[in-house]
């Protein structure tokens, strides 16, 4: 007699509203420039000018990308006089990046095309 296998209960599907919010989050992460900014913000809060210098992107592009990620709830923003500091609101975003990079790194094994280690 074979052991009894427990059947998993079916999970409910996400609502259309929930799916839209998930898509918005992924959309905010779907740009190489935004990922470059997140890489810089991994070190801690930074001002727009610092991010411009670190990434080589223009000030307008950096500001636009920061707004997109802020609006999606990925970043925090703090003002100190005329200075504005941006930071990562939830470190979970880096766990997601590690998961994707790990998958891509596995896909590349033996080809050595791109290093995805973070």
Provide the residue-wise pLDDT of the chain in tens; the chain has 118 residues.
444 555 455 778 999 999 999 999 999 999 999 999 999 999 999 999 999 999 999 999 999 999 999 999 999 999 999 999 999 999 999 999 999 988 888 887 766 677 766 6
Token pair listed for 21: 């919010």
Give the H or E element holding residue 114: none
Q: What is the length of the chain?
A: 118
CA angle 31, 101, 75 (to 5 degrees): 45
pTM of the predicted protein model: 0.80
pLDDT of residue 69: 97
Q: What is the pLDDT of residue 42?
A: 95
pLDDT of 6 reads: 53
């Amino acid at each position: 007699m074979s052991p009894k296998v427990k059947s998993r209960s079916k999970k409910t599907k996400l609502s259309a509203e929930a799916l839209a919010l998930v898509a918005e989050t992924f959309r905010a992460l779907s740009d190489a420039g935004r990922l470059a900014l997140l890489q810089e913000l991994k070190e801690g809060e930074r001002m727009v000018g610092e991010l411009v210098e670190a990434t080589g992107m223009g000030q307008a592009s950096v500001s636009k990308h920061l707004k997109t990620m802020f609006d999606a709830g990925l970043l925090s923003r703090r003002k100190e006089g005329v200075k504005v500091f941006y930071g990562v609101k939830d470190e979970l975003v880096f766990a997601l990046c590690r998961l994707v990079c790990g998958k891509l790194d596995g896909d590349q094994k033996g080809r050595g095309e791109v290093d995805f280690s973070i």
